[in-house]
Amino acid sequence: MRKQAFIISVIAIISMMFMLIGCSSDDDQVTADKVKENNDPDDHQIISTTVAVAEIMDALEIDLIGVPTTYKDLPERYDGLPDVGNAKSPDMELIMSLQPKEVMSVTTIQYDTEEFFKQADVNARYVNLESIDEMHEDILAIGKEYDREEQAEEIVQTFDDKVTEMEKKVEGKDKPEVLILLGVPGSYLVGTDQSYIGDLVSKTGGINVFSGEEVDFLASNTEHLQQKNPDIILRAAHGMPDEVVEMFDEEFKENDIWKHFDAVKNDRVYDLEETLFGTTGNLAAEEALDVLYDIFYEEELDN
């Protein structure tokens, strides 16, 4: 009897262990299962790891199964979807559990992330948002691939119309010379005309004081910058915007060389809103052009 009771106890313990393992597995799969329940089997099963790409996919009316972890607002279309982590350090375990057919990132962080996706055998696509033209090329390519050509063409045409409108507005105006500073916590770089914001400046009639460069950003040297003596200084804060703006304020206050800049003397220093002026292209470009126009030609607007 004792032996029989012992065997029954062992069987009960083993059964309980299997139940616990099953529950654990179920918990691990709950997010993926919810996504699969809410998506048609014919859905594209795409994950976006950046906000800019998620916004583009929304404009193209393409559903996703995973979105980036971010403090920024994402399109309502993607409410309730699992967050797959930071763009540079995505949660690969979660991504793999969602079984995507394609994960979309951006070319500017391809070097930092492609090895993660290769090791996990996940198909990664890097969207080029390094300039307006390159962004539009990729939007058209995605639209063609996912049967959203009409939406893609509308996005591109709307912006082209905006640029044509801007060209007419700035025609005959004095073009301001502009210095772009890109700040991240602890340091800042100089944006050339090859950078995304530099592209926006050019399309709004501004002249980047660092034109003709082959790279997007240069190391800063205040004495060299002062020799350029721009009419306007644009400060773009990224990473932790509030902290970066404080860093800029401290730099401009404590480093005496800034007071010799005409832009500082004339109070023509502007902090750009991060949601409109990212390091790469995004669908806020039209609104960004309007903001730059008001900055560049504010004296005329005030008269």
Domains and CATH numbers, the chain: 46-127 (3.40.50.1980), 170-298 (3.40.50.1980)
pTM strictly above 0.85: no
Supply the pLDDT for residue 35: 46
Eight-class DSSP state of 85: B
Computed from CA positions of residues 287, 288, 293, 295, in that sequence, does the dihedral angle turn out positive or negative?
Answer: positive
Supply the pLDDT for residue 61: 97
Can you say whether residue 229 is alpha, beta or left, with left for phi > 0 and alpha for psi between -120 and 50 degrees? left
Supply the pLDDT for residue 279: 87
Supply the pLDDT for residue 299: 61
**Are the C-beta atoms of 292 and 273 separated by less than 8 Å?**
no
Supply the pLDDT for residue 298: 81
pLDDT < 70 stretches in the chain: 1-43, 299-303
Eight-class DSSP state of 74: P
Instruction: Report the DSSP beta bridge partners of residue 189.
Output: 182, 219
pLDDT tens sequence across 49-61: 999 999 999 999 9
pLDDT tens sequence across 68-115: 999 889 999 999 999 999 999 999 999 999 999 999 999 999 999 999
Distance CA 111, CA 115 (A): 8
**β strands within the chain, DSSP E:** 46-48, 102-106, 124-127, 177-184, 187-191, 207-208, 217-219, 232-237, 269-272
- Token pair for 95: 């991504």
